[in-house]
Structure 1
């Protein structure tokens, strides 16, 4: 835990001081997943404490609950009388090829269509498996990617380290910070209880790291407005990640919606985005244009495979990065399994999400001091490198019922009532609390 926490603190420019952790229990894994959960939540809390100290002269004590951190890295929601839709498309998953394993990510309809463009229409998993089995894994991965889809062959950690993209990611920092020349002198409008009150966060992120970051910011009082394309949906995670936010839709191909987006951006303090590295540029909203529209903007972004190397613009998700980077292959050996064994939760997403939130708060603290905006870039693949370097995990079993004594809170959602777990971060005088329940995508108007 100490090395992992210190690495995150150093990457964020925070003091490498110990943070107390309470509670027992861990997620069983070949890797230190619970340690990643605790450390990433802790640095988000530490950044918050540093902001409060800058403004008040008092550094509030911080503590993180190991058990609750583990649960929040899976889900914080326990529906009462209803169920969250499945997270995965029926044919998404791992398949045996002629020479190994590959993962196909087909949750988005256009990603499934891309896979079927290569493989042919697939009725079900058995049909998909019979088609995949005829392919070489490397050739199929490339064919699906070329068709606009998402796929990753299972590689070992050594193979990934030798791969051009693995080498590129290894050379990148965990968080890449940069400051801008424009200035934005806005006073702190928050309080100890709500340190981010008065800040507008324009959230362009989707499954899953970015929404985790904006959920944390909303919990500290920020006004978060999430923007999605007209037809996008992610029903398996929406009840989990829209807590505290308003959710609207815009089509950035349409002139009227572009004008609305630009008006929103001009008034935003913080922009979060998780598009591929070249996507906003192709829409006409490259970094230069964003800062021209919103001088002093805090601009924090992530992608899957890093910001340099041949795959920097490749589509990717947590589960695919686990396959590419050696995590799923190492889990297979650790569990003595005959198929890829991923992490027990989408830990790369969650860990990167809290690191994003911490990066926002670090940049905000700097802006309050010098008036200058800034940017931070993170990637799932670089978080994977950090986790792999941390070493072995634990074989403890953390059961859902272990959370039942943690003071479950009732939340009234559009789908029905649900219990929301108590938060794992305890920052004295600054409770993480959300003014709005989780919401459907597109439920609100695109306005501050």
Structure 2
């Protein structure tokens, strides 16, 4: 169905305007976007409008790049229904189960004065939380131990031990918190020029605008992989690099579409040199590591841009780039707890426990903002001959979401045959159907011939050198 209410269109367009102008886009280009689709995700916040608006901003950035190369800006049409699906799961297995998304210990726990979320999907994060609690890896034992702590004290202790946790705060408490105040002052996207780009042009195919460009992906769950997946759908060669022992089985089938995935151990000099070689031939770099991680390895911002002048460099973190928590580990579900989203959901629905968004919308929306930043960086490289460094955060996207009131949505019907792309995607886990891309851009072929695959299945080398 292509019905969409005037109220839906207004909210979708409002989020698009916030994002597009927030990343430096020309307001006049907003007229090139049209929204279709009926129904949305059930949420006390504007989750589907955020999905539609962020996808639209990325499509507009792609259209802007096409216009810079061809002189004509194509129309962007966003299907808000499909955008909602892509904010959850676009992949539908045919006869095999999706991997579990959460570790057995992860979840929300009652403290003596509130609630806390423990994020324990990574083994070292799980070990840190259990060490602080003095509990075995058994849910009931963890619950008993958590109940003896105050939420703020346990959060601080787990974070200090190298783990990931977030106490549930009301929105007003986050607004008054030093980190909440810092994020409220940050722009949607920080952008800085980094110097001349010796290679500013590339052979351009209007139907596949990123064909021939190389994207180096050092991102993990979930925003960064969403961004690089979209760049792959526009024709980019995306090479994802992970450490030898890293896995994230709950999301890999969803986000490795269009990518080749390799491993490097950056503790080894020879692997650091291989990464340096990848930088020398990269056009775009996306980095989801903590702010100082690559600096410690010798691949800080100055080093990266010395290896590849003109690099389009895009970074994200969880809690923002200023304020006392600027280097804190975090994930979408934790930011929802910290920023008041989970508490607001609980209060407004009358639930007896934290009530987050129906999907990890902060991750997905931030992913599309990152992709838009990369596309605008490529446009800038072509038109101005300059590289760039951009960055944003999940917490900034949370601030965007709560800035506009949610409106009731007509419930979406489940995905049906008309929602799926033609053909079967032969993934590493078995055959699957994929929901159609959430947008169309006139004249562009959005898709990829590379099915989702396991981590570490490719060599850490570019398939096509420029």
Per the normalisation by structure 2, the TM-score is 0.94
Alignment of 1:407-422 (within 5 A): 407-409=420-422, 410-422=424-436
Give 2:156's aligned residue. 142
Shift in Å, 1:91? 1.1
Give 1:178's aligned residue. 192
Q: Which of residues 312, 337, 340 is equivalent to 1:298?
A: 312
Give 1:40's aligned residue. 54
Matched, 1:151 2:165: yes
Secondary structure of the corresponding residue to residue 20 of structure 1 = strand
Matched, 1:61 2:75: yes
Matched, 1:28 2:42: yes
**Structure 1: how far apart are the matches of 2:416 and 2:212?**
33
Matched, 1:12 2:26: no
**Structure 1: how far apart are the matches of 2:288 and 2:309?**
21
Q: Which of residues 169, 174, 180 is equivalent to 2:183?
A: 169
Alignment of 1:390-401 (within 5 A): 390-399=404-413, 401=414
**Structure 2: how far apart are the matches of 1:377 and 1:341?**
29
Give 1:236's aligned residue. 250
Shift in Å, 1:395? 4.9
**Structure 2: how far apart are the matches of 1:146 and 1:293?**
34
**Structure 2: how far apart are the matches of 1:343 and 1:164?**
24
Secondary structure of the corresponding residue to residue 245 of structure 2 = coil
Secondary structure of the corresponding residue to residue 14 of structure 1 = coil
What is the CA RMSD across the aligned residues, in angstroms? 1.1
Matched, 1:226 2:240: yes
Q: Which of residues 96, 99, 110 is equivalent to 1:85?
A: 99
Secondary structure of the corresponding residue to residue 233 of structure 1 = coil
Shift in Å, 1:285? 1.4
**Structure 2: how far apart are the matches of 1:438 and 1:93?**
28
Q: Which of residues 418, 441, 456 is equivalent to 1:405?
A: 418
Return 5+ residue gaps in structure 2 as ranges: 1-10
**Structure 2: how far apart are the matches of 1:280 and 1:343?**
32
Alignment of 1:339-378 (within 5 A): 339-378=353-392
Tell whether the 8 Å contact from 1:184 to 1:373 is kept in structure 2 after alignment.
no
**Structure 2: how far apart are the matches of 1:337 and 1:227?**
41
221-230 or 10-19, larger mean C-alpha shift: 10-19
Per the normalisation by structure 1, the TM-score is 0.98
Label 1:194 to 1:323 Cα distance change in 2 as closer, same or farther (>3 A): same
Secondary structure of the corresponding residue to residue 337 of structure 1 = coil
**Structure 2: how far apart are the matches of 1:59 and 1:26?**
29
Alignment of 1:183-262 (within 5 A): 183-262=197-276
**Structure 1: how far apart are the matches of 2:90 and 2:204?**
26
Shift in Å, 1:184? 2.6
Shift in Å, 1:121? 3.2
Give 1:315's aligned residue. 329
Return 5+ residue gaps in structure 1 as ranges: none
**Structure 2: how far apart are the matches of 1:241 and 1:403?**
21
Deviations 1:357-384 (A, max 9, x none): 0000001001101211001101000000
Matched, 1:3 2:17: no
Shift in Å, 1:392? 1.8
Tell whether the 8 Å contact from 2:428 to 2:453 is kept in structure 1 after alignment.
yes
Secondary structure of the corresponding residue to residue 326 of structure 2 = coil
Shift in Å, 1:279? 1.2
**Structure 1: how far apart are the matches of 2:74 and 2:409?**
34
**Structure 2: how far apart are the matches of 1:30 and 1:116?**
33
Give 2:401's aligned residue. 387
Q: Which of residues 262, 267, 288 is equivalent to 2:302?
A: 288
**Structure 2: how far apart are the matches of 1:128 and 1:396?**
39
Q: How many residues align?
A: 447
Tell whether the 8 Å contact from 1:177 to 1:376 is kept in structure 2 after alignment.
yes
Shift in Å, 1:393? 3.7
Secondary structure of the corresponding residue to residue 134 of structure 1 = coil
